[in-house]
Amino acid sequence: MPELPEVETIRIGLQSLLPGKTVKKVEHDWPKSFPNSSSDVKKFLIGAKITDVRRRAKVLIIDLSSNYSLITHLKMTGQLVFVPKGHKLTADSSQLTAEKKFGGGHPSNSLVGRLPDKSTRVILEFNGGAKLFFNDQRKFGWMRLLPTIQVPEIDFIKKLGPEPLEDAFTPDIFIERINRRQNSPIKAVILDQTVLAGVGNIYADESLWLAKIHPATPVKKIPKNKRILLYRAIRDILTLSIKSGGSSDKNYVNAEGKKGSYLKFAQVFRRDGQTCPRCGIEIIKIRVAGRGTHICPKEQRLPRGVK
DNA sequence: CACTTGACCTGTCCGC
DNA sequence: TGCGGACAGGTCAAGT
């Protein structure tokens, strides 16, 4: 669920909070969430000062003065929440009730509850008493320590496609990269992090709706003008979402434990049963590439002869 | 190599 | 009310 805009929002928050802080203590409860040995932690994390907070695709990179980095992938339910010394995050019960009642689409701004909670996997404590909590209900995410110089070399990062918001990512590059997957449904292709980095299920659905392309359309059946529309849609939607502080879906919160507001702007994601803002037809939910997929059945049609 | 499906996990929701 | 099953969706491994 944290996709590029959510991770970027967290990065911006942590960049304003972490640099200059020195790590004093680390606690963790689940080996897959934090696989490093205690001797590495002692040598390269404890006593190190945070120098920078970067992002590549959906991965956050916290650089340390020890020339090691702490890298984190939040997968679906991960959170990184900074709590200043003495500050207690307490959930406002009326906001939590609103959350339950209205679900992820409701533009609430509630804080997470008191931490640590049972989803807490790692706690970093800093000199001065502030803490950074890595929470992850489903335990798919991970945090690990490695030499900064090795970050670009780990398999996952090495294979990543280009950052879609960088200037170097041109329409020609987008078209060339999706062409590697001629027979795949376009949704599977833009979700593939080795084609381009950072798009997940929410922004895939939104982009394809904006470009009026059926998510199951094989790449080779998409005309060039539509490919360019899709390229623009992806960039516009990711940019808008970052401006909105990321989405407000389910488990996502920013570095201060607050929700974003992007889903207020979402046109199709989780809006099945509601009407398409452009044409008024009911949005439906289907399954494409093994994932829940939301489309306008009138404007996003499969080309003749496909499936 | 191109492409698809299931596994990893836990919490929530839906139907009986 | 309890209970089983489907579902959530990012990535990897194993399948065709």
For residue A163, the Cα-to-chain-centroid distance in whole angstroms is 13
Report the distance from CA of residue A78 to the C1' of nucleotide C3 in Å, as an integer: 29
pLDDT in tens, A1-31: 789 999 999 999 999 999 999 999 999 988 8
Chain C bases closer than 7 A to any CB of the protein: 7-12
Query: pLDDT tens for residues A86-97?
Result: 776 554 433 333
Report pTM. Answer: 0.91
Residues in contact with strand C, defined as Cβ under 7 Å from any of its atoms: A 1-3, 57-58, 73, 75-76, 138, 140, 155-156, 159, 191, 193, 200-202, 285, 291-292
How far does the CA of A232 sit from the C1' of C1, in Å?
51
Instruction: Give me the pLDDT at residue A111, please.
Output: 57
Q: How far is CA A291 from CA A111, A286, A302, in A?
A: 29, 8, 17
The Cβ of residue A148 has, within 10 Å, a number of other Cβ atoms equal to: 18
Find and list the nucleotides of strand B having atoms within 7 Å of a protein beta carbon. Answer: 2-6, 8-11, 13
Q: Which residues pair with A295 in a beta bridge?
A: A284
Identify the pLDDT of residue A266: 85
* Catalytic status, residue A121: no
Q: Going along A159-246, which residue ranges are E strands?
A: none
- CA atom of A106 to C1′ atom of B9, Å: 26
Q: Is the pLDDT of residue A252 over 90?
A: no
pLDDT, position A102: 26
pLDDT in tens, A198-241: 999 999 999 999 999 999 999 999 999 999 999 999 999 999 99
Interatomic CA distance for residues A243 and A77, integer angstroms = 22
Write the pLDDT tens digit of every residue in A50-69. Answer: 999 999 999 999 999 999 99
CB A7 within 8 A of CB A59: yes
The single residue of A11, A21, A55, A58 carrying the catalytic annotation is: A58
Q: Which residue among the candidates A75, A291, A298, A301 is catalytic per the annotation?
A: A291
Other beta carbons within 10 angstroms of residue A287's beta carbon come to: 10
Active site residue A144: no
Beta carbons of A283 and A264 less than 8 angstroms apart: no
Mean pLDDT of chain A: 88
Residue A234, H or E segment? helix A224-243
**What would the pLDDT profile of A102-131 be if each residue is shown by its tens digit?**
233 223 344 577 889 989 999 999 999 999
Model pLDDT, residue A86: 76
